[in-house]
Amino acid sequence: MRDYANLFRLDGRHAVVVGAGSGIGRESALALAAQGARVTCADRDLDAAEETTNLGNPADPVPSVAAQVPSQLTSYELDVLDPAAIERAVAELGEVDVLVFTAATNVRKRLLDYTGDEFDRVVALNLRASFDLVRTFGKAMAERGSGSIIGFSSIRATTVEPGQSVYAATKAGLVQLLRTAAAELGPSGVRVNAIAPGVVETPLTEQIKAHPDWYSAYAEKSALHRWATPDELAGAVVYLASDAATFVTGSVLHVDGGWTAVDGRFEPPN
């Protein structure tokens, strides 16, 4: 009989969240810790990662407890553009049960105006770094016989607009990378899934938010007629990390307010 009362609990598990210094990564780290996981908040910006750990750890822990129980969240400096740094992280962080990675970048520019350097920069973070993370952490999980890997794709993996060419290509490529990892690592007990957010209030979307018409058009496109906040993605992360999703792998979970389900251009009369 499954323990449904604790289906989403993560007590005793170690989660590493890459990109935990802000936005969706920060909220994911806080949510995983709230469900009992020990969370390593990894980010290239160590100060930002430490802000996350300070938000999640008790401000005034009971001294007798603090002496025996480590902080639920800890910070770790990690530059995912450096494959050697990822190798070191796997060696230094010990057993990892859950890997979540959110780090991404975008250059919003028409295809004919793109430069080779810009292409390389977007692909390096969005796809190559993801490849290195999945391969390195996934190997250790497979050797141990269990684990959950969660990467962040996007609605742009399936629906595009002018100016999103390379970003969209990397997010579609990430889905196929994760599906392949699910197929290859599944026999070793490792689950691999993607989350595809819609439009979310994060630093990556500042350019859109600064343009009122653009911002409003994005809000109206979803079935809920609004943007998401980063905390609204955290539940999907907890679900895929937990025993509630033990038979879920190779999937893409859209958390997009109905963006990819609804045409949205016009509401016909009855």
- 141-153 pLDDT per residue, tens: 999 999 999 999 9
What per-residue confidence (pLDDT) applies to 204?
76
Q: What is the pTM of this model?
A: 0.93
Beta strands in 58-212, from DSSP E residues, in sequence order:
73-77, 98-101, 147-152, 190-197
Q: Where do the structural domains in the chain lie, given as residue ranges?
A: 4-57+69-255
98 - beta bridge partners?
15, 148
Instruction: Specify the pLDDT at position 61.
Output: 55
When pLDDT is cut at 50, 70 and 90, the band that residue 67 belongs to is very low
Top pLDDT among 88 and 264 is at 88
The tens digit of pLDDT for each residue in 180-196 reads: 999 999 999 999 999 99
When pLDDT is averaged across residues 246-255 and rounded to a whole number, the result is 98
- The CB density around residue 99, as the number of other CB atoms within 10 Å, is 28
**Contact criterion met (CB below 8 Å) for 125 and 79:** no
Tokens representing 133 are 């993370």
**Active-site entry in 4, 114, 167, 239:** 167
CB burial of residue 216 (10 Å; 0-12, 13-18, 19+): exposed
Architecture of domain 4-57+69-255: 3-Layer(aba) Sandwich (3.40)
Determine the Cα–Cα distance for residues 238 and 255; give it in Å rounded to an integer. Answer: 13
* Catalytic residue check, 167: yes
| pLDDT tops 80 at residue 168 | yes
